């Protein structure tokens, strides 16, 4: 039996292993064969999660629907210059402040 809980919290594999940071999977290619310990909770071989590849397609479809059905605006007054793009120092190049947008329906509802 494999201890997936311990592998997911191994500091040799993950920095900040005890924190919930789903962004750590962004920009990575999934190895659906189960040969990579990072994705072991999804299973491996014949017993792997049947929805792991379906999930990737569903996320892209939902994002496409959000972009199609809504116009995205900055909150607050219209005279703002735009989002604050001040970055933090580090490898990832993250922004200091999170991006906040307001979803405005693009099409009239029937």
Higher per-residue pLDDT: 78 or 60: 60
Is 49 known as a binding-site position?
Answer: yes
3-state SS, the chain, equals: CCCHHHHHCCCCCCCCCCCCCHHHHCCCCCCCCCCCHHHHHHCCHHHCCCCHHHHHHHHHHHHHHHHHHEEEECCCCCCCCCCCCCECCCCCCCECCCCCCEEEECCCCC
pLDDT exceeds 70 at position 65: yes
pLDDT exceeds 80 at position 57: yes
- Looking at residue 68, its pLDDT comes to 92
- Looking at residue 63, its pLDDT comes to 94
Whole-structure pTM value: 0.48
Per-residue pLDDT tens over the stretch 10-39: 778 777 777 777 777 677 666 656 566 666
């Amino acid at each position: 039996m494999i201890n997936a809980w311990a592998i997911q919290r191994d500091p040799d594999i993950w920095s900040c292993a005890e924190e919930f940071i789903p962004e750590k999977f962004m920009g990575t290619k999934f190895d659906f064969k189960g040969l990579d310990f990072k994705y072991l909770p999804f299973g491996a071989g014949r017993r792997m999660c049947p929805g792991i590849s379906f999930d990737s397609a569903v996320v892209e479809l939902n994002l496409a629907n959000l972009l199609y059905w809504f116009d995205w605006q900055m909150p607050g007054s219209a005279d703002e210059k735009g989002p604050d793009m001040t970055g933090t120092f580090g490898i990832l190049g993250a922004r200091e402040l999170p991006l906040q947008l307001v979803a405005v329906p693009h099409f009239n509802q029937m």
